[in-house]
Amino acid sequence: MSDDVILKVRDVYRTYDIKGGMFKKASRLTAVKGVSLDVERGSTLAVVGESGCGKSTLARMLTMIDAQTSGTIEIDGLPIDISKTGISKEMRQKVQIVFQNPYGSLNPRQKIGHVLEEPLLLNTDMPAAERRDLALQMLEKVGLQPEHYGRYPHMFSGGQRQRIAIARAIMMKPKLLVLDEPVSALDLSVQAQILNLLADLQEEMNLTYVFISHDLSVVRYIADKVMVMYFGEVVEYGTRDEVFDNPQHDYTKTLFAATPRADVDSIRKRLAARAA
Amino acid sequence: MTNTSPATKADTSKLETESRNATKAQLAEFWYYFSQNKGAVVGLVVFALLVLTAIFAPLLAPHDPDFQYRDSFLVPPFWEEGGKAAFLLGTDAVGRDILSRLIFGARLSLLVGVMVVTIALTGGIVVGVVAGYMRGAVDTFIMRIMDIILAFPSLLLALVLVAILGPGLINAMIAIAIVLQPHFVRLTRAAVLTERSRDYVVAAKVAGAGHMRLMFKTILPNCLAPLIVQATLSFSNAILDAAALGFLGMGAQPPTPEWGTMLAEAREFILRAWWVVTFPGLAILITVLAINLVGDGLRDALDPKLKRS
Amino acid sequence: MSLLEIRNLRVEFDTAKGPFRALDGVDYAVDAGEVLAIVGESGSGKSVAMLATMGLLPDSATITADKMEFEGLDLRTLTTKERRKVIGRDISMIFQEPIASLNPCFTVGFQLGETLKTHTELKGRQIKDRVVELLTSVGIPDPSGRLNAFPHQMSGGQCQRVMIAMAIACSPKLLIADEPTTALDVTIQKQILDLLVRLQQDSGMGLIMITHDMGVVAETADRVIVQYKGRKMEEADVLSLFENPQNPYTKALLSALPENATGDRLPTVSDFAEAGGF
């Protein structure tokens, strides 16, 4: 099914020039080094790595916030190279992003209704009444109430805000959704709700996810394919079972070994080792 | 997806009430923190009285502020020996009622405050947002100009500007606004710099917001808190500067009942008739103090760092 | 006798919307040589209890307790000065944001030295030796070279190591770690947790781990207190908690872990709330 690849990334690099100062030479930092990947429609690719590994830079390139330095990105057959062609409304409707911190990603002075309507206002000619209907539908879809429409973000809990951020991202019915650590700022019980919501939405709207995370247990739960990044490079790329059952790269192994285990056997083993 | 519109299900008017309630809750919270600061409440009351006085000046003033009573030069306040009940706070050297002049002067002072702050704030916000948002050469260029303006002693610069533009209240206001503007530019720029990299700005950008929308609709409302505080403090500053210019003869011209000008006219009688200098001075002091107290309270209520402790 | 014993602790905050009860009658006890984990989600009051013990809550908080003793010393009646003596020497605390917890204006060596100067009798040369010793014990490579490093020149993990060094500088009897690894990467988290447990075992101090992460609990704790909305839901030793949780909320939390997922959907706490009625 190679023709159903919705996101095609080939050999993408991103470098940052660090300006030199009086005592410092100018230098160049390569945040993403030659990443290639394919994501099939309706599936979830998880990008795993620690801070500074370039996973967020990758997310910013996929969502057209930053341009790639070299390489090609193709979303739903549409080539993306914003440094050359700019961003068209058509491109914008293909891909959206959900950020990690639900407290920072909503404008504190904007009521929820306006948050949701903003993408429609900017990209379509829809009349106000229709926009409001869509926003209300969307609120219901992500598990919020219509009366939340006129409230401010600070009146909501972290989980509710993340629902709002998700609702905003899917207002334009994008094909691809980039989720940049969407649950890592949330409590465990809320995390479960949001993961369930994401699963429901994926099924309903046939969404494709690029799920960026450092939490392996979440990745194992949600991903179809997993990509592990380390210092800007892809060190492991395969289906979930391949990667989790048989990690090839040393870094992946270290990562798995470091993840805390919350099962009874591991606790027993630890306590036994401690008593000894 | 269902095709029934939830808006028809949920009563539209209910949504609007809900939305209004949210706004009300916001205001209620603001008032709670503001009213914690007792000084600010006192300042607000005084300021409100001042505004009322200015609005109803013709009704409140016992005399015409410009009418000269030839038979009563330098009459002391009513409780002093030789005072007349008709002139509660006495008269000045040409027989004008000081109380009436002060009451009408409130109009001018408030006008000066409002005008100066409006001009300085609007200009400062636009220039500051552009500088903070654009960064780079534009930013450097704007900020260097502001640094140059700030390098002059403010009153001196205002004097120079008035000298160029010609004396008069309007020109004085323009001069003071120009002098105060760099503070707003700096403040706006600093606030924009911290806000522009926040996720919600990026999110608006991803949603397709253009530069103008990002600058003035997304970022600016979140930078207003420090600006409001600065605006109140500048309000009092403007009144002070206008009075100073008036005193130096470069602001409002006689016989305008402006407080600073009144002081200037009374200069030669300081030793003989204390009331001609004391009351305009007190008026300036009380007004400026009240506004500063309000500004202090606003800072308490708007500063998120103090609020979320 | 327990090292720290608190009975019926209540904490209330004054807010714009009236008093808010952050903790409602919770008991805590920790013994020397024991690792107690306090686990809960945001709003559970898990940090508030220990901040109250340390006297670090703002003035808007009202603290009442039937008993609040550290080694038989009543913490409620201490003056600020006496409290300062106990805190920092016998009880110390590390926080979530290691980089923000260090003063950016001073070098790491200086800040460690200050702690030693305040709480011990050491002088000049001895202080420097002890600082190097401490940095070595928390696993900082090239400790004598790192003395003159400023916090911003170090990574988050290293800063947390320095914070730990500072916390154990006076060989405290009780160390409180408030989400010590939440801001760190998984591999660094592992190292820091191992370090904390090793230090705790070597010195025999009591360790209180405040966390929201069940994985951290499973990796470190002896005994666990589960909190929810300011109340204690369950207290048990770590094995029986994970093996056989009694309280519906604990059950809910454990089954919400993605690694315990069985079907297509994750059970959420609200599913249990309806059934369990907490």
* pLDDT higher than threshold 90 for residue B141: yes
Residue with tokens 């005193």: B247
Does the bond joining A127 to the residue before it have cis omega, within 30 degrees of 0?
A: no
Instruction: Out of C41, C259, C269, name the one closest to residue A262 (CB).
Output: C259
The pLDDT score that the predictor gives to residue B3 is: 46
The angle subtended at Cα B156 by Cα B151 and Cα B158, nearest 5°, is 100
Residues A265-273, mean pLDDT to the nearest whole number: 87
Residues B232-241, mean pLDDT to the nearest whole number: 88
SS3 assignment for A95-118? EEEECCCCCCCCCCCCCHHHHHHH
- Percent pLDDT > 70 in chain C is 94
Identify whether B2 is part of a domain: no
Containing structural domain, residue B237: 33-307
- In sequence order, the β-bridge partners of residue A72 are A10
Return d(Cα C74, Cα C67) in angstroms, integer. Answer: 8
Mutate one of C13, C14, C17, C51 to test the B interface: name it (highest B CB count within 10 A): C17
CB contact under 8 A, C258 and A218: yes
Residue C167 burial class via C-beta count within 10 angstroms: exposed 0-12, middle 13-18, buried 19 and up: buried
* Greater pLDDT, B302 or B148: B148
- Percent pLDDT > 70 in chain B is 94
Containing structural domain, residue C273: 247-278
Identify whether B27 is part of a domain: no
* pLDDT higher than threshold 60 for residue B308: no
Containing B156, the helix (H) or strand (E) segment is helix B154-165
Q: Which CATH number goes with the domain that contains B242? A: 1.10.3720.10
Return d(Cα B186, Cα B237) in angstroms, integer. Answer: 17
* pLDDT higher than threshold 60 for residue B9: no
Identify whether C138 is part of a domain: no
Return d(Cα A49, Cα A249) in angstroms, integer. Answer: 13
Residues C68-83, mean pLDDT to the nearest whole number: 85
Identify whether B25 is part of a domain: no
* Greater pLDDT, C41 or A228: A228
Looking at the 3D structure of chain C, how many domains does it have? 1
Q: DSSP alpha helices (H): ranges in chain A?
A: 55-62, 82-85, 89-94, 112-123, 128-141, 158-170, 188-205, 216-222, 240-245, 250-258, 264-275
Identify whether C168 is part of a domain: no
The pLDDT score that the predictor gives to residue C269 is: 65
Identify whether B1 is part of a domain: no
Least confident range of B36-50, B66-80, B169-183: B66-80
Domains, chain A, with CATH or none: 2-275 (3.40.50.300)
Q: Is B225 within 8 Å of B302 (Cβ atoms)?
A: yes
* pLDDT higher than threshold 50 for residue B2: no
Residues C228-233, mean pLDDT to the nearest whole number: 90
The one-character DSSP state at B76 is P
A234-273 as b/e: b if 16+ CB within 10 A: bbbbbebeebbeebebebbeebeebbbbbebeebeebeee
Identity at C122, one-letter amino acid code: L
Q: Nearest-CA distance from A132 to chain B in Å? A: 8
The pLDDT score that the predictor gives to residue B39 is: 92
Backbone angles phi, psi at A73, to 5 degrees: -125, 135
The pLDDT score that the predictor gives to residue C262 is: 64
Residues B155-159, mean pLDDT to the nearest whole number: 90
Residues in A touching C219 (Cβ below 8 Å): 260-261, 266, 270
Identify whether C233 is part of a domain: no
pLDDT classification of C274: cutoffs 50, 70, 90: low
Identify whether B166 is part of a domain: yes
Return d(Cα B187, Cα B224) in angstroms, integer. Answer: 10
pLDDT classification of C270: cutoffs 50, 70, 90: low
Q: Is A233 within 8 Å of A190 (Cβ atoms)?
A: no
Return d(Cα B195, Cα B211) in angstroms, integer. Answer: 14
* pLDDT higher than threshold 80 for residue B6: no
Look over chain C and give the mean of its residue pLDDT values, rounded to a whole number. 86
**Alpha carbon B97 to chain centroid distance?**
27
Identify whether B154 is part of a domain: yes
Q: Nearest-CA distance from B128 to chain A in Å? A: 20
The model's pLDDT over A90-147, given as tens digits with 9 standing for 90+, comes to 888 889 999 988 888 999 888 999 999 999 998 888 898 899 999 999 999 999 988 8
CB contact under 8 A, C189 and A262: no
Looking at the 3D structure of chain B, how many domains does it have? 1
| Model ipTM over 0.90 | no
* Greater pLDDT, B182 or A215: B182
The model's pLDDT over A149-170, given as tens digits with 9 standing for 90+, comes to 888 888 888 899 999 999 999 9
Identify whether B126 is part of a domain: yes
The pLDDT score that the predictor gives to residue B1 is: 41
The pLDDT score that the predictor gives to residue A96 is: 92
Q: Is A162 within 8 Å of A194 (Cβ atoms)?
A: yes
The model's pLDDT over B288-297, given as tens digits with 9 standing for 90+, comes to 999 999 988 8
The model's pLDDT over A58-80, given as tens digits with 9 standing for 90+, comes to 999 999 988 999 999 999 888 88
Identify whether B24 is part of a domain: no
Of residues B27, B32, B38, B28, the one with CA closest to residue B307? B32
CB contact under 8 A, C186 and A258: yes
